[in-house]
């Protein structure tokens, strides 16, 4: 390839690979945008394949590459514009779409650099573009509620794993205390100590466990009873968009609380960790209260795994959430008072 051809190819590859521009004042319907996005992803996949074949290292055909290259540039420009139009249909969905477009543009840029340098791993970069396109077509949420639900579900898995760690901590503590050569390394990594808890620490952990269990169940019920069905008309996208941040706040606070339960325990540290957890749950209460059903809604209510304290509210979603929030607040206050008394002794 001559220097002139390389310069032209480099300029074309660099075009429109930056962040998407501002959207126009008229925004198409979500179904139209979603269809256009999928179509553009298909076109990018095909153009990338044609470009790679025409510029294969064994026998590059530079003139033949101009057609698919121009198609690719046009499609990248179009998909970047398309991504900016999703924001009026929900910020969570729009964020997911922009992230996909950024990743594809980044992969195309890497492919372009490899082709310009006539590198040997151009097929690897082509495969990366193909994989990203396939993943986007398979996993992109259909609407903003689905995007929020997807993020909520990811946090839910980590919450349940964290609470299971506490259960394992209690069960493992009943076993003989054995020397572990990795104890010091775990402490250095901030993963907690494997030292056996004393009887007092064990009882303290068992008192905190119900709060963690209630909080995890609350998180699960939001996914099953609020996000798993079409939201009421009064549920605006801003309300839905606020939920992932509340989910993340609960996850971080719960993990910080669990970290304080490893031996040796400090009652004051546990109490300090419980305050952000209570605050995070209260923030979720404020966000959910306006969108909870005002009348009993039996259909779709998740009844599995509910503690005895909540059995009476199973058929009324609003009552269930109010009862659960109150129970968590009651447990949080009781635990913090108890831990404060221990610290003052």
pLDDT of amino acid 310: 52
**3-139 matches 144-344 in fold:** no
pLDDT at 179 over 50: no
The domain spans of the chain are 3-139, 144-344
Which of the residue ranges 163-167, 174-178, 301-305 has the most confident prediction, judged by mean pLDDT? Answer: 163-167
Predicted pLDDT at 90 = 93
pTM given for the model: 0.76
pLDDT at residue 297 above 60? no
Instruction: Output the average pLDDT for the chain.
Output: 83
Superfamily name with CATH number, domain 144-344: I/LWEQ domain (1.20.1410.10)
Task: Show the tokens assigned to 73.
Answer: 């540039």
- pLDDT for 15 equals 44
Task: Compute the Cα dihedral for 247, 317, 290, 210 and give only its sign.
Answer: negative
**Mean predicted confidence (pLDDT) in 260-288:** 95
Q: Which residue has the higher pLDDT, 172 or 202?
A: 202
Question: 329: number of CA atoms within 13 Å, CB side?
Answer: 12
As its CATH architecture, domain 3-139 has: Up-down Bundle (1.20)
- The DSSP line for 230-242 is PPPTT--HHHHHH
Q: Which helix (H) or strand (E) holds 66?
A: helix 62-84
Q: Is the pLDDT of residue 182 over 80?
A: no
Mean pLDDT calculated for residue range 155-166: 94
Q: Taking the chain, what is the end-to-end CA distance rounded to the nearest angstrom?
A: 80
pLDDT of residue 196: 82
CB 227 within 8 A of CB 303: no
Average pLDDT over residues 194-205: 86
Residue with tokens 């996914």: 223
pLDDT above 90 as % of the chain: 59
**Whether pLDDT at 289 is above 50:** yes
Angstrom distance (rounded) from CA 15 to CA 109: 10
**Torsions phi, psi of 118, nearest 5?**
55, 45
pLDDT over threshold 50, residue 332 = yes
Q: What is the pLDDT of residue 231?
A: 60
> Between 277 and 59, where is the model more confident?
277
Q: Check if the beta carbon of residue 194 is closer than 8 Å to that of residue 183.
A: yes
Neighbours of 168 (CB within 10 A): 10
% of the chain residues with pLDDT over 70: 77
**pLDDT tens digits, 102-157:** 999 999 999 988 888 766 788 999 999 999 999 999 999 999 999 999 999 999 99
pLDDT at 186 over 80: no
pLDDT higher for 307 or 53? 53
Q: What confidence score (pLDDT) does residue 184 get?
A: 54
State yes or no: pLDDT of 16 exceeds 70: no
**From 3-17, 170-184, 233-247, the region with the lowest mean pLDDT:** 3-17
Instruction: Inform me whether the pLDDT recorded for 18 exceeds 50.
Output: no
> Distance between CA 108 and CA 297 in Å, rounded?
49
Quick: pLDDT tens for 76-108.
999 999 999 999 999 999 999 999 999 999 999
Residue 298: its pLDDT value, please? 43
Per-residue pLDDT, 206 = 94
pLDDT digit string, tens, across residues 19-71 = 444 444 577 899 999 999 999 999 999 999 999 988 876 777 888 889 999 99
What's the rounded Cα separation, in Å, for the pair 47 and 43? 6
| The pLDDT value given to residue 308 | 53
């Amino acid at each position: 390839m001559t220097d002139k051809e390389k310069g032209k190819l480099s300029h074309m590859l660099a075009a429109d690979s930056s962040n998407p521009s501002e959207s126009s004042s008229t925004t198409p319907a979500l179904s139209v945008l979603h269809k256009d996005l999928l179509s553009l992803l298909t076109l990018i996949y095909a153009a990338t394949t044609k470009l790679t074949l025409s510029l294969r290292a064994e026998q590059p055909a530079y003139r033949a590459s101009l057609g698919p290259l121009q198609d690719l540039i046009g499609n990248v420009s179009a998909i970047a514009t398309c991504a900016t139009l999703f924001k009026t249909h929900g910020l969570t969905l729009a964020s997911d779409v922009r992230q996909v477009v950024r990743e594809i543009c980044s992969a195309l840029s890497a492919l372009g650099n490899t082709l310009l340098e006539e590198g040997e791993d151009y097929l690897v970069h082509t495969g990366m573009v193909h994989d990203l396109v396939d993943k986007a077509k398979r996993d992109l949420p259909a609407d903003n509620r689905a995007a929020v639900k997807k993020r909520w579900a990811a946090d839910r898995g980590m919450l349940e794993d964290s609470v299971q760690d506490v259960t394992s901590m209690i069960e493992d503590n009943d076993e003989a205390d054995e020397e572990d050569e990795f104890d010091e390394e775990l402490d250095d990594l901030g993963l907690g100590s494997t030292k056996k808890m004393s009887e007092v620490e064990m009882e303290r952990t068992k008192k905190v466990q119900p709060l963690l269990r209630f909080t995890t169940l609350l998180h699960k019920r939001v996914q099953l009873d609020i996000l798993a069905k079409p939201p009421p008309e009064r549920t605006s996208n801003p309300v839905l968009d606020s939920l992932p941040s509340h989910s993340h706040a609960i996850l971080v606070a719960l993990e910080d609380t669990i970290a304080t339960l490893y031996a040796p325990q400090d009652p004051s540290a546990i109490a300090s960790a419980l305050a952000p957890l209570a605050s995070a749950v209260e923030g979720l209460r404020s966000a959910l209260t306006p969108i909870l059903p005002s009348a009993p809604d039996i259909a779709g209510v998740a009844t599995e795994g509910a503690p005895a304290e909540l059995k009476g509210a199973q058929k009324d979603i609003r009552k269930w959430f109010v009862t659960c929030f109150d129970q968590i607040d009651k447990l949080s206050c009781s635990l913090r008072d108890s831990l404060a008394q221990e610290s003052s002794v």
